[in-house]
C-alpha cells in the first residue's frame, strides 16, 4: 500500500470520528450512584415542607386533626380555598385592596432598593474617594444588626418624618437595606475596569456606562437581589408601622384569619399556600436565568 493511500485512509478515519468525545467520568459507577442518591435525598428534604403545606391545604378539616398525621390527603378538596375567599369577602376591606397594598409595597420597595443599591455599589466598586472604605465598613457592620435591633430607632425616625401609617414606612427602610449594597458591590468588583474605561473612551457618560455596560454584566447579582427583596417585602405584615385597615398588607389579613380558631384551621393551611406562591414562583423562574447568566458570563482582567 502506497504512502499516499495510507494518508487518505487516516484522514477519512479522523474525519469520521465524533466531533465531541464523551468525557470519561472521574468517579466509578458506584460513586455516581451514591452521588445521585445523595442529591435525591437532599431534594426530598428541601421539597418536603412545600409538598406538606400544599397537601394540608387540600385536606378536609377532619383529616387535618388525624393522629398520626398523613402527608397526602385521602380526599383532596378545594373547600379550604373557597372558604378562605368567602371569609375575606366578608371583611369591610376587600381582598383586592389587601392584595394591591402588598403588590405596591413590594414593587416600589424592590425597584427602589435595586436602583439605590446598584448605583451606590457602582461608585464604591469602581471609584476611590475619601471615606469610601470607611463607608463600606459601616455597611458591612450594619448587616450584622437584625430588624428587631433597629426596629425602635426606625420607628422614631419614621414618626418624626410623619411617615407612620403610610406605605413609605415600609418602602423607605427597604431602600436602605445594607445587604443589597454589599451584594452588588462585591459582584461589581469582579467586573474589569478596562471595560468601563473603554466605554468612556467611546464617549459614554456615567449613566450610559452604568445602564448599558455594568448592569447587564452583573445580572446574576441584581436578579438575586430582587428575589431577596420580594421575599422580604411580600411577607412583611407591617403591623407595627401601618394601623389603618385599608392600608394593611395581605400577610396581616391572612394572619388574622389564621388566628380565628380551630374552625379556620383549613383556611389557615390555605393561607400558607397563597402567601408562598409568589416568592416560590419568582425564585424558580429567576434561578434559571441566574444559572444561565453565570454559565455564559464572567469576565476577567
Rg (CA), the chain: 27
Res 64: pLDDT: 83
CATH class given for the domain over 89-296? mainly alpha
Per residue in 96-125, pLDDT (tens digit) is 888 899 999 999 999 999 999 999 999 888
Cell of 93: 376591606
- State pTM to two decimals: 0.77
Domain map (residue ranges) of the chain = 3-82, 89-296
**20-55 burial, b if ≥16 CB within 10 A, otherwise e?**
eeeeeeeeeeeeeeeeeeeeeeeeeeeeeeeeeebb
Pair 247, 176: CB distance under 8 Å: no
| Burial of residue 134, with CB atoms counted within 10 A of its CB: 0-12 exposed, 13-18 middle, 19 or more buried | exposed
Rounded CA gap, 73 and 269, in Å? 13
Cell numbers found for residue 151: 426596629
Please list the pLDDT of the chain residue by residue as tens digits (301 residues). 555 555 555 544 554 444 444 455 556 777 788 888 999 999 899 889 888 888 888 888 888 888 887 888 888 888 888 888 888 777 778 888 888 999 999 999 999 999 999 999 998 888 888 888 888 888 888 888 887 888 888 899 999 999 999 999 999 999 988 888 988 888 888 888 888 888 888 888 888 888 888 888 888 888 888 888 998 899 888 888 999 888 888 888 887 877 767 777 888 888 888 888 888 888 777 766 666 545 544 444 4
Q: Which residue has the cell 445594607?
A: 178
Amino acid at each position: 500500500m502506497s504512502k499516499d493511500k495510507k494518508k487518505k485512509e487516516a484522514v477519512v478515519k479522523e474525519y469520521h470520528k465524533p466531533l465531541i468525545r464523551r468525557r470519561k467520568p472521574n468517579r466509578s459507577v458506584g460513586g455516581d450512584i451514591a452521588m445521585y442518591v445523595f442529591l435525591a435525598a437532599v431534594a426530598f428534604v428541601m421539597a418536603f415542607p412545600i409538598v406538606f403545606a400544599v397537601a394540608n391545604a387540600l385536606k378536609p378539616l377532619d383529616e387535618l386533626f388525624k393522629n398520626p398525621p398523613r402527608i397526602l390527603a385521602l380526599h383532596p378538596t378545594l373547600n379550604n380555598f373557597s372558604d378562605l375567599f368567602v371569609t375575606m369577602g366578608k371583611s369591610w376591606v376587600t381582598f383586592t385592596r389587601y392584595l394591591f397594598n402588598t403588590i405596591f409595597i413590594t414593587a416600589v420597595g424592590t425597584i427602589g432598593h435595586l436602583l439605590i443599591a446598584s448605583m451606590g455599589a457602582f461608585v464604591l466598586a469602581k471609584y476611590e474617594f475619601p471615606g469610601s472604605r470607611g463607608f463600606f465598613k459601616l455597611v458591612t457592620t450594619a448587616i450584622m444588626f437584625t430588624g428587631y435591633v433597629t426596629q425602635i430607632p426606625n420607628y422614631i425616625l419614621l414618626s418624626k418624618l410623619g411617615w407612620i401609617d403610610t406605605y413609605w414606612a415600609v418602602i423607605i427602610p427597604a431602600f436602605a437595606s445594607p445587604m443589597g449594597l454589599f451584594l452588588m458591590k462585591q459582584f461589581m468588583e469582579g467586573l474589569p475596569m478596562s471595560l468601563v474605561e473603554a466605554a468612556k473612551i467611546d464617549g459614554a457618560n456615567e449613566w450610559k456606562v452604568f445602564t448599558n455596560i455594568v448592569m447587564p454584566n452583573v445580572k446574576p447579582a441584581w436578579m438575586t437581589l430582587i428575589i431577596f427583596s420580594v421575599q422580604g417585602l411580600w411577607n412583611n405584615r407591617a403591623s407595627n408601622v401601618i394601623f389603618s385597615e385599608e392600608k394593611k398588607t395581605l400577610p396581616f389579613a391572612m394572619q388574622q384569619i389564621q388566628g380565628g380558631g380551630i374552625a379556620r384551621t383549613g383556611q389557615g393551611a390555605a393561607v400558607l399556600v397563597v402567601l408562598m406562591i409568589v416568592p416560590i414562583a419568582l425564585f424558580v423562574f429567576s434561578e434559571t436565568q441566574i444559572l444561565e447568566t453565570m454559565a455564559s458570563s464572567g469576565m476577567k482582567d
